[in-house]
Structure 1
Amino acid sequence: MAIIVLVDVGNALASSTLEGNTYLFDNMKLHGSENEGTGELVTAINGSYWRDGSQASEQVLNWLPYSLGSIPPTVPRGYEVERARQTDEQALAELQELAAKSTVPSSDAEAELNRIRRSVGTRIKTTRRTRGRMSGQKIVDVTGQVVTEDATAAASHPAPVITDIYGEAVESKIMYPAEYGSPDMVTDGWYWSATVDTSRPGTYSYMMRVQLHKLVQTNGELRWDPVNLTCASALKITSEPRRNAFTKAGVGPLPIPPAVRPGRGA
């Protein structure tokens, strides 16, 4: 079972809260999940039991955080690096062309150099807290264009990062969350997952601690500063058996009527 955590990072940073800026979805809507697409998602978990009432299986949850209004995670892994390389190559070509023009007035040459400098864009300062994918890269907007220091409002925010899952469902030992390594590079090789005890029906709340990154300028240098916020969600565990998502029927053959052969009943 997957839970998508879609965050409007720009508005969340501006208001310093995830309330009203988070949209949660799961793949259990036809099984009873409530408030899909809002910040108050209640994920339905249908229990599975043996005839004697003992638990037959557990459910597994996966949380996937994404940023609204940023570069989509479906682009190639090295997209931002490739765009930065292209701007560097273009700037070098323009510098060579400018150097070849020996008759260019000094004032025009200075204006051209400033234009080339702006077209190269701005790199993020590498700090101890921002090592990794975000460090040393150029700032780009949602269209992949590099951003200069005076146009950082258009910057594409990094994807949110879930750093902890806690609350009633964890303290009551209803679910057991943990962060796992993954070959899926969309999530930087890490994701949060949890097994859920389906033998105890009820509604249990839980909290997610989400880390966003805000672009700030310090001592003339730009960097991504981490901002930690929280949002709530809930699990609704029922003792109902699993149902067919198309027909709402239980376990068994689909209710398809037998085919009538031509000529019969005429």
Structure 2
Amino acid sequence: MAQQLAIIVLVDVGNALESRTLTGNTYLFDNMKLQGSLNQGTGELVTAVNGAYWSDGSQAGEQVLNWLPYSLGSIPPTVPRGYHATRTRQAEKDALAELAELTGKPSANGDTEAALARIQKTVGTRVRTTSRTRALSGNRLLDVTGKVVSDQSQGAHSYPAPVITDIFGDAVDEKIIYPAEYGSPDLVTDGWYWSATVDTSRPGTYSYKMRIQLHELIQRAGEWTWEPVNLTCESKLRITADPKRNGFTGAGVGYLPIPPASFA
């Protein structure tokens, strides 16, 4: 069975949009640190991919890479998938309740204006999108704590998670990795993720690039919109010919030894 290797792509979206580059604004992690991966938590990650051969010299199975992009300083990805829609509906219900209370009692003009301003703050700002990420469209703007934002000019809002739209470069051109986007029921990845099989029979260090789509909040035709911004970052894979070994015995992969004391 192929080994699953996970690569976390953590992006400081606010700084990346301001500087229009992912250089210095991307932090990469993987689960192969103990196997020799280098530069964890930086934009210079070199992912170790080993086990090209079994201990008897026969060809081992291919490895599988999985890329998971996340946004730094945004709502945690572990919240339910429909969190934004739920918060939007709740904000609208609260605003309708306040409006009904306002219409049920007389008040001076000044009090009415103040109440309407408070209701507008309660309902927040609706944001649309021009990208394929439909889940962003029509929802209210939220901050990192999940509260609706009414004054978008302050910039204290949560950015949508980055979206990987393509994986390319030397490792793909030389047929070292075979990346593709797959559908998934996983609620964290919003139903899509990028994965690739790795040809472990060709040791060496290979670079690849990721095209990542961020979303910037702009005002267009009087409406606030998530505008897609496409940037690229680079990473590397280091494939070795080290044989796969049992982590407990140091020998080949097989049955674990049972201590004699277990039969006592």
TM-score, normalization: structure 1? 0.89
Q: What is the DSSP-based 3-state SS (H/G/I as helix, E as strand, rest coil) of the residue aligned with 1:185?
A: coil
The amino acid of 1:207's aligned partner reads K
Deviation at 1:220, TM superposition (A): 2.0
CA distance in 1, matches of 2:12, 2:245: 34
CA distance in 2, matches of 1:42, 1:30: 13
The equivalent of 2:124 in structure 1 is 121
The equivalent of 2:28 in structure 1 is 24
Cα distance change, pair 31–145 in 1 and its aligned pair in 2 (3 A): same
CA distance in 2, matches of 1:172, 1:91: 57
Cα distance change, pair 246–117 in 1 and its aligned pair in 2 (3 A): farther
CA deviations over 1:87-139 (Å, ceiling 9, x no partner): 1111111111111212x111211121112112210101354x35610111110
Question: Which of 33, 49, 61 matches 1:57?
Answer: 61
Q: Residue 37 in 1 paired to residue 41 in 2?
A: yes
The equivalent of 2:144 in structure 1 is 142
Q: What is the DSSP-based 3-state SS (H/G/I as helix, E as strand, rest coil) of the residue aligned with 2:172?
A: helix
Cα distance change, pair 54–123 in 1 and its aligned pair in 2 (3 A): same
Q: What is the DSSP-based 3-state SS (H/G/I as helix, E as strand, rest coil) of the residue aligned with 2:135?
A: coil
The equivalent of 1:87 in structure 2 is 91
2:55–2:243 contact (8 Å) kept in structure 1:
no
2:7–2:30 contact (8 Å) kept in structure 1:
yes
CA deviations over 1:233-253 (Å, ceiling 9, x no partner): 011010101245578766467
Q: What is the DSSP-based 3-state SS (H/G/I as helix, E as strand, rest coil) of the residue aligned with 1:187?
A: coil
The amino acid of 2:167's aligned partner reads I
The equivalent of 2:243 in structure 1 is 241
1:31–1:243 contact (8 Å) kept in structure 2:
no
CA distance in 2, matches of 1:251, 1:24: 30
TM-score, normalization: structure 2? 0.90
CA distance in 2, matches of 1:49, 1:115: 67
The amino acid of 1:214's aligned partner reads E
CA distance in 2, matches of 1:149, 1:40: 37
Q: Residue 106 in 1 paired to residue 109 in 2?
A: yes
Q: CA RMSD in A?
A: 2.4
Q: Taking every aligned residue pair, what percent have the same amino acid on both sides?
A: 70
The equivalent of 2:101 in structure 1 is 97
User: Structure 1 stretches of 5 or more lacking a match?
Assistant: 260-266
Cα distance change, pair 125–55 in 1 and its aligned pair in 2 (3 A): same
Cα distance change, pair 245–56 in 1 and its aligned pair in 2 (3 A): closer
Number of corresponding residues: 260
The equivalent of 2:189 in structure 1 is 187
1:71–1:156 contact (8 Å) kept in structure 2:
yes
